[in-house]
Structures are given as structure tokens and as C-alpha cells.
Structure 1
Amino acid sequence: MSTFERYLTVWVALAMAAGILIGSLAPGLVEAISLAEIASVNLVVAVLIWAMVYPMMVGVDPASLSGVARQPTGLVITLAVNWLIKPFTMALLAVVFFESVFAPFIAPEDAAQYTAGLILLGAAPCTAMVFVWSQLTKGDETYTLVQVTVNDVIMVFAFAPIVAFLLGVTDISVPWQTLVLSVALYVVLPLLAGLLTRRRLGSDAAIDRFKARVKPWSAMGLIVTVAILFALQGQTILDRPLVIALIATPIMIQSYGIFAVAYCAAWLLKVPHRVAAPCAMIGTSNFFELAVAVAISLFGLGSGAALATVVGVLVEVPVMLSLVAFANRTRPGFR
């Protein structure tokens, strides 16, 4: 690990502070970035995430795809956690905290909105950033791609029914443009670019050298992305710090709890660490573009539900970096 990568959490913390500062001092710049958006997908952030994902896609070896079928346990854990556990535990935590623990501090109508936002987050497992977390934990690139792809296919059919059931709303309109655009930007295009790069480089040695050269740019993209996300929400953080903290509490409990379930299951079932780490990361992080888009569609831009999904974005990076560090420290415990 380079010195830069070793202190990545420090740089991310500084990026969070810088983002809030930029949001306060340069609102015009932040507004211009926020307007560069199509179907609730911010194009500036999309380019940065693409840059983060691309180095890992270079490591995807099509010849290794057949090996995934011989080791299905990691995929089974991912799907079970994402679709049979995560949406329902998130809904339970939201109800417990906003209707009981935090009830003295939050109006009932706001509590219902925050609960709705967290349900949307819980039903939208991650697509793009999983590749980043997988790369940081030395995950198996090919297996991670398969996990994300299968997960996205299931999301097309399962997201709306689960949200409708948990929210008690029957007319859920899935923003297909957001879903399709995100998958194209974060999975399809980087994968094609990675495969073309592999073909151009030729040998495994050349591919390894190239990945080593571009890897620091991936971490830099993460830092800039964090700064932009916090700049976009900087004023909200400054204006409503208590509300942000209250919403963040069940999200953090959910994140660490889901990771523990998936990671421990992988360890008990003797899943290799290169599969176990990304397997646990997929359920832990969220497809925030989809969650935000649906929250705005159902409840409005200024709603508490939309705010809750945005808090999910702010919480995710520091939480996931702490889990990346934990996964790396516990690698020797896996076979």
C-alpha cells in the first residue's frame, strides 16, 4: 500500500470538510454541478465514479467467468442478504428509532417521511461503488461483476414490489431511466473499456503494470466524489445537524449489522476472502441514485424522505471505508 492509500480515511475526512466549506463559500459552483444531471444521475459524479470503477474492470477476465458457477456460495449470500434480509431490517430499524427512540425529538409526520426514505435505501442495494470497495479489499474482479450484474437483474423485478409492500403504497413508479442510465454508466461502459484495454495491453504482466499505474487515480476519484457530495449537501448539514445525526443513526446500525451478517456467513461457509469481502459490501452500501429518485418522485424534492436518502449518501463513504479497513485486517482469518 502506498502512503496515500494507507491514509485514505484521513484524505476522505478532509474531503468531507472541504466539501462543506465549498458548499458555503461557493454556492454558485455547487449549483452548477447540481444542475449537470439527467434522470437524477449527476453527470459530474458519474464521471468520477466511472474513473473509480474502470481500473477494476481492467482486471475482469472473461475466461474466469466459468469459475463463478463452481463457487456459487458467495452469490447466494449476496442475494439472500440483499433481498430477504436488508429491506426488512432497515424498515424495522426506521420504525423503532423514528416512532419510539427519537419520537420526543421528531414530529410524527416527519418521522413517517424519514421512515419512508430509509425503506427506499434498504430496498436499493449498491451497483457502482461496490467495485470501488471490492478493489480496496483486493476482491475478485470477475466475481464482483457477476454479483453486481445478477443483483441488478433482480432489482428490476423486486425493487417496486418490496417498496410497495413496506410503504403500503401500491402505485410505485420505478424511474427506469435512472436505473438503466446508472447501470450503463457504472457497469456496462466501464466494463467495455476495461475489456478493450485488456485486449490492447495483451499480456498479464502489462495488465498488472497498467492497473498499478491507474489505481491511485481511482482513490483520487473517490476523494473528489466525496468532496462534491458533501458540497452539494453542505448547507443542509449546517442548517439541520441534529436531524442529520438522528437519520444517520439507524443507517449506521443497519450498515454494520448487514455487513456482519454477510461477512460472518461467508466465513462460516468458507468463502474465500476475495469473494467474501465484496459479497458483504454489496448489501452494506446503497444504490443512492435510485433511492433519491424514487423519494423525490413519491414525496417531493423537499420531503423528509428525500432528505433521508441523501443522508444515506453522506453516511455511506465513511462507514464503508471503516468496513474496508476491517475486511483488510481480517483477511488472514479466511482461507
Structure 2
Amino acid sequence: MSTLDKWLPLWIGIAMVAGLLLGRFVPAVSEVLTRLEFGGISTPIALGLLVMMYPVLAKVRYDKVAAITGDKKLLIASLMLNWLVGPAVMFALAWIFLPDLPEYRTGLIIVGLARCIAMVVIWNDLACGDSEAAAVLVAINSVFQVVAFSFLGWFYLVALPGWLGLDTQGLDVSVWQIALNVLVFLGVPLIAGFASRWIGEKRRGRAWYEGTFLPRVGPWALYGLLFTIVLLFALQGEAITTSPIDVARIAVPLLVYFGFMWFLGIAVGKSLGLGYARSTSLAFTAAGNNFELAIAVAIGTFGASSGQALAGVVGPLIEVPVLVGLVYVSLWIARKWFRTDPYAPSLSSP
């Protein structure tokens, strides 16, 4: 593990604090980020995510992707965890922990519907998960996100609460907004990563590409991650620091959610015999959420100063440190539960 990776929790902690302080004491930063939006997406944050994702997707061996798509156990498990279990778990936790706070409850449910297609590739890579499997799973999530997000929003905010005699909340979000989110946060870096490998290997060979090029661009993934965290927390730093009790109440169900979904994913992978690398990819894709989409939908539907938007912002506030911690838990589980070395070169190979 490199020095940058080894001290990652410290760098992330510094980035979070820096972002919160910027948002709290330099409100102009938040205003600038809000102005630099296109289709509900902050351009600087999008740039940070693209820089973060490109090195990881450039690392993927796309000639192995076909083999991953043939792993029906992995694909079915991912679909079940992401689109049946995850939203249902968040719905239940939102009502259990926030029965008296409908705005925050709705915001949490929206977070649960937005399945991760971006930052999860970083956590998977740090935990030595299967890069090819992660690329396939986030691609599948992106397709389901476009076709299922609006329906699930109606189901969990209108239909199911109505059947149970609970309060209902509407959700107005366009397919275009979701498709744009998927295109920016997955499509662009995926195409760039594929093109880099294809051109690099064709001109210089795989040995040069993986031995020289990837080590040069690799650190930029974490630079992009830290840059994104600073901007993300600066965007809502004032709201977070001025409402600590509300943030704490929103944080509790999120902590339970991320921990539960991750351990469920790793346990399901283990029980299906997927091995450590693919079980890890399954766990992180099940636990992670697309915070950018959740925040954009909450702001677009309910307003930037709404409780729903604050709940969306608290999502990455909790998700980032929790999933960083789970990276180290997964490395421990690799040795103790899967009896394997997570840094073995052949670990991610079928």
C-alpha cells in the first residue's frame, strides 16, 4: 500500500474539515458552485469525479468483461441487493428513525434509491476488489437507474406509504436528469478508460501500459476524490455546521444502512462462492449510493434549503468515512474469512 493509500483516512478527514470550514466561513464558495451548474450537476464537482474515476476505469481489463457478464450469481445478487433490498432497507430505516421528520425521511429514501455508479469504483479499488466486476455492476446500475428510479420514487414515496396508512410525498424527476447524471459520472470516464487501454496497448503493449502508464495516472484517482470531497462539503458546509442535531438524527439511519448493506453484500458473496474480490465488489456496490443524483433530485424537487436536500448532503458526510473504514475491514476479512492475500496479483482473476 502506497503512502497516499496508507494515510487516506487522514487526507479524507482533512478534506472534509476543509470543505466544511470553506462552506461555513466563505459562503461565496457555495454560491459559485451553485452557479456553475448544468442540468442540476455542479461542473466543478463533476470534474473532480471524472478525475477520480478515470484512472480506476483505465485500469480495467476490458477483455475480461465478457467473463464477468457470464457470472449469473454475481449479477443476480447485485440486482437483488441494489434494486430490491437496498431501497426497502432505507425506507424502513427512514420511518423507524425519523417518523416525526417527513422532509429528512423523504431525503433519506431518495438517497436509498440512487444506487452508486461513481465513487464505489474507488472503494472497490482500494479494497483490492475485482475491477472488471465493479465496472460491469456499475454499468448495470446505471441502466436500471435510468429506467427504474422514477418508478421506485413513486412506489416508496406515494404508493407504499399510502397502502400502509403513512404520510405520502411526491417526487418529480425527469428521465433526462437521471440519464445526464449517468452519462457524466459513468459514461465519460468509462469511454476514456476504455480508449486509453485500447490505444495504449495497441501502440506500446500491455506491459508498458500496466507497468508505466497506470502507475503515473493512478494517484490522480485519490487527488480527484479529495478535491470532490472538499467541494461537496463546501457546498453545504453552513447547513451542516448550523444544524448539528438534525445532522446527527439523519446520520444514525445512514450509519446502520451502510454497515448493514456492506456486510450483507460480503456475506452473500461468500455464501455464493464468489471469492474475495468479487464479493468485495458486490458489497461496495450494494452499500454505496449516488449522492450527486440524490442531492440533485432533492434540490430540484424540494429546493436547495429543504430538509430533503440537507438529508442528501449528509449522505456523503456519513458514507465517505464509513466506506473508507470498510475498505480496511474488507482487507482484514480477506485474510481472516476468505483466507487469501488481498494484494496477491492473481486475486481478481477468474
TM-score by structure 2 length? 0.88
- Which amino acid is 1:144 matched to? A
Q: Aligned equivalents of 2:174 and 2:128: distance in 1?
A: 33
**What's 1:104 paired with?**
none
Q: Aligned equivalents of 1:232 and 1:187: distance in 2?
A: 22
**What's 2:253 paired with?**
250
CA offsets, 1:282-308, max 9 Å, x none? 121111222223223433332211211
Q: Aligned equivalents of 1:27 and 1:172: distance in 2?
A: 29
Q: 1:299 to 1:185 in 2, by over 3 A?
A: closer
Query: Among 191, 216, 221, which residue is 1:218 paired with?
Result: 221
Q: Aligned equivalents of 2:252 and 2:300: distance in 1?
A: 25
Cα drift, residue 319 of structure 1: 1.2
Q: How does 1:1-335 map to 2 (within 5 A)?
A: 1-99=1-99, 108=100, 111-168=101-158, 172-202=171-201, 203-208=205-210, 209-332=212-335, 333-334=337-338
Structure 1 contact 41–178 (Cα < 8 Å) conserved:
no
Structure 1 contact 178–289 (Cα < 8 Å) conserved:
no
Structure 1 window deviating more from structure 2 (239-248 vs 222-231): it is 222-231
Aligned length: 325
CA offsets, 1:184-213, max 9 Å, x none? 222221122112211332222212122122
Structure 1 contact 87–119 (Cα < 8 Å) conserved:
yes
Q: Aligned equivalents of 2:188 and 2:54: distance in 1?
A: 9
Structure 1 contact 58–207 (Cα < 8 Å) conserved:
no
Structure 1 window deviating more from structure 2 (171-180 vs 154-163): it is 171-180
Structure 1 contact 121–309 (Cα < 8 Å) conserved:
yes
Q: Aligned equivalents of 1:171 and 1:241: distance in 2?
A: 27
Q: Aligned equivalents of 2:302 and 2:185: distance in 1?
A: 27
Cα drift, residue 171 of structure 1: 6.0
Structure 1 contact 175–294 (Cα < 8 Å) conserved:
no
Q: Aligned equivalents of 1:197 and 1:156: distance in 2?
A: 27
DSSP-derived class of the 1:330 partner: helix
**What's 1:105 paired with?**
none
Percent identical across equivalent pairs?
Answer: 34
Cα drift, residue 59 of structure 1: 2.0
CA offsets, 1:109-145, max 9 Å, x none? xx01111111111111111112211221222222212
Q: Aligned equivalents of 2:189 and 2:148: distance in 1?
A: 25
Q: Aligned equivalents of 1:240 and 1:190: distance in 2?
A: 36
Q: Aligned equivalents of 1:149 and 1:228: distance in 2?
A: 26
Q: Aligned equivalents of 2:194 and 2:235: distance in 1?
A: 34
Cα drift, residue 15 of structure 1: 1.1
**What's 1:102 paired with?**
none
Q: Aligned equivalents of 1:260 and 1:68: distance in 2?
A: 22
Q: 1:223 to 1:193 in 2, by over 3 A?
A: same
**What's 2:161 paired with?**
none
Q: Aligned equivalents of 2:138 and 2:26: distance in 1?
A: 36
DSSP-derived class of the 1:173 partner: coil
Q: Which runs of 5+ in 1 are unaligned?
A: 100-107
Q: Aligned equivalents of 1:165 and 1:201: distance in 2?
A: 46
- Which amino acid is 2:86 matched to? K
Structure 2 contact 24–241 (Cα < 8 Å) conserved:
no
CA offsets, 1:166-186, max 9 Å, x none? 211696433333322222222
Q: Which runs of 5+ in 2 are unaligned?
A: 159-167, 341-350
